[in-house]
Amino acid sequence: MVLGLLLARAGVDVIVLEKHADFLRDFRGDTVHPSTLQILHELGLLEELLKRPHQELKELSGVIGGVPVRLADFSHVPAQCKFIALMPQWDFLDFLAACARRYPNFHLLMEAEVIGLLTDSARVTGVQAKTPQGLLTVEADLVVGADGRHSTIRDQAQLPRKAFGVPIDVFWMRLSKKDSDSATTLGRIAAGAIFVTLDRGDYWQCAFVIPKGSAETARQAGLESFRKLIVRVAPEFADRVAELTDWDQIKLLTVAVDRLEKWWRPGLLCIGDCAHAMSPIAGVGINLAVQDAVAAANILAAPLVNGAPSVADLERVQKRRALPTYLTQKLQMIVQDRVMTRVLALKRDPKPPFAVKLLNRYAFLRRIPARIVGIGFRPEHVHTPEHLPGSPI
Ligand SMILES: Cc1cc2nc3c(=O)[nH]c(=O)nc-3n(C[C@H](O)[C@H](O)[C@H](O)COP(=O)(O)OP(=O)(O)OC[C@H]3O[C@@H](n4cnc5c(N)ncnc54)[C@H](O)[C@@H]3O)c2cc1C
């Protein structure tokens, strides 16, 4: 959607195909980081976005083995907004779609599921999509696969992919919110339990991390045993866990981390989770996908105005985004493998490790994780011009 907006704004004809009828799905995470807010600021859309319901997270804290610790302080990040905006992704996508629709050359087709690529002997030339009205053929100078971690485009393009073992999955559920709840506590860690809460205004969207493949064992142990696990790691929720009365309220989200070795073929480019599925750790996946979109627009908008971009142009997008992707996934995998796996195997509550104690004690150190999470590696900026309808490109 971000790439569609940027390209349409630069005068390129764009069609975004979305297989669902709306964006109302729960499982995508809600964190709009300072880097993404900066992009909206550069587009002159920030004020409008922030008028929509959201929460502002200026610092991150956690509870490790019952000890509260402060982990990140966004007050010094080099960006217009010194906070993470928590906004359900369906609201964010609706906002972006509304902004993009202001350009007559932007078209969003809902309930249009891409099922195949059109190719000639040399390149990808378009897609075929299933719609309620029947099969739709779209020919294009460039097809961009931005269809997430179960991408059809990526499968059809047969691009080489490297998958990394992931030791965790996530149970995803809602619990009600109270005025007395801490607004900044994001994660709680106790023996065998990691519990994350995202502020959705009038309720908490909660993530309970489990060892990969252990969901069935947890279900067999029963709901009461699961409620007890939540209370052990987050005692303040003892008065609310009874809201969980059925496993239907608790969705299993499987976590995957992978990366394409080559993000493109002539006529085709993959970005976001389609090019590199992200773990939920640090809630950076949405923001990395947005950064990919900005880089792709910066590099491809001018060539696209004149027709199909060259293979060298597509290669430049991958070169630009490969390092930030590698570094971010590397950090996520270190946390998964060295911290989460150990915590989930613990029989006794952990104590805050030395590095966390330092962060908790020295405010200036908390700027480092804030910068890595909030801005990330190699932040992108909008370099594409706005082409107003009717004016020459
Ligand atoms: C449990 C969990 C929690 C997470 N929490 C966070 C978080 O808090 N913050 C964060 O930044 N990241 C989070 N992430 C990572 C984040 O969800 C992804 O990195 C991010 O959504 C990637 O964006 P994307 O646009 O590339 O793909 P997606 O958000 O997956 O979007 C792909 C879109 O393509 C559509 N689509 C799929 N197939 C087709 C098709 N064939 N035809 C047409 N349309 C299609 C889908 O319906 C969807 O709208 C989390 C991940 C997991 C697994």
Looking at residue 389, what is its pLDDT?
Answer: 64
Mean of all residue pLDDT scores within the chain: 94
CA of 73 to the centre of ligand 1 (A): 27
Q: Which atom of ligand 1 is nearest to the CA of 147?
A: 34
In this structure, which residue's CA is closest to atom 48 in ligand 1? Answer: 147
The rounded Å distance from CA 264 to ligand 1 centre is 19
DSSP three-state, residue 379: coil
pLDDT digits (tens, 9 = 90+) for 66-104: 999 999 999 999 999 999 999 988 899 999 999 999 999
The 10s digit of each residue's pLDDT in 153-195 is 999 999 999 999 889 999 999 999 998 887 777 889 998 889 9
Q: What is the pTM of this model?
A: 0.94
Residue 393 has pLDDT above 70, yes or no: no
Atom of ligand 1 at shortest distance to CA of 255?
53
Q: Return the residue whose CA atom lies nearest to atom 9 of ligand 1.
A: 283
Task: Please list every protein residue whose CB sits less than 6 Å from any atom of ligand 1.
Answer: 17-20, 27-31, 113-114, 146-148, 152, 170, 253, 255, 272-274, 278, 280, 283-287, 289
The helix-helix angle for 34-42 and 285-305 (nearest 10°) equals 30
String of DSSP letters for 198-236: EE-SSEEEEEEEEETT-HHHHHHH-HHHHHHHHHHH-GG
pLDDT of residue 186: 81
Q: How open is the CA angle 204-375-92, to the nearest 5 degrees?
A: 45
pLDDT at 182: 79
What's the one-letter identity of residue 259? R
Residue 372 near residue 28, CB atoms below 8 Å: no
Could you tell me which residues are beta bridge partners of residue 55?
A: 86
CA of 148 to the centre of ligand 1 (A): 5
Q: Where are the alpha helices (DSSP H) in 51-192?
A: 89-100, 152-157
Q: Residue 143: which residues within 8 A CB-CB, separation 6 or more? A: 117, 124, 126, 127, 153, 267, 268, 269
**How far is ligand 1, taken at its centre, from the CA of residue 350, in Å?**
32
- Structure confidence at residue 387 (pLDDT): 85
Using CA atoms of 227, 233, 235, 241 in order, give the dihedral in degrees to the nearest 10.
Answer: -20
Distance 273 CA to ligand 1 centre (A): 7
The answer to whether the beta carbons of residues 96 and 2 sit under 8 Å apart is yes
What per-residue confidence (pLDDT) applies to 262?
A: 97
Atom 28 of ligand 1: nearest residue by CA position = 148
| pLDDT average, residue stretch 137-143 | 98
Q: Give the residues across from 131 on adjacent strands.
A: 134
Provide the token pair at 108: 């969003």
Kindly report, residue by residue over 11-60, the tens digit of the pLDDT.
Answer: 999 999 999 999 887 666 789 999 999 999 999 999 999 999 999 999 99
Structure tokens at 312: 């060298």
Q: What is the pLDDT of residues 339-382, one digit of tens each?
A: 888 888 889 999 999 999 999 999 999 999 999 999 999 999 99
What is the pLDDT averaged over residues 112-134?
97
How many residues are recorded in the chain? 393
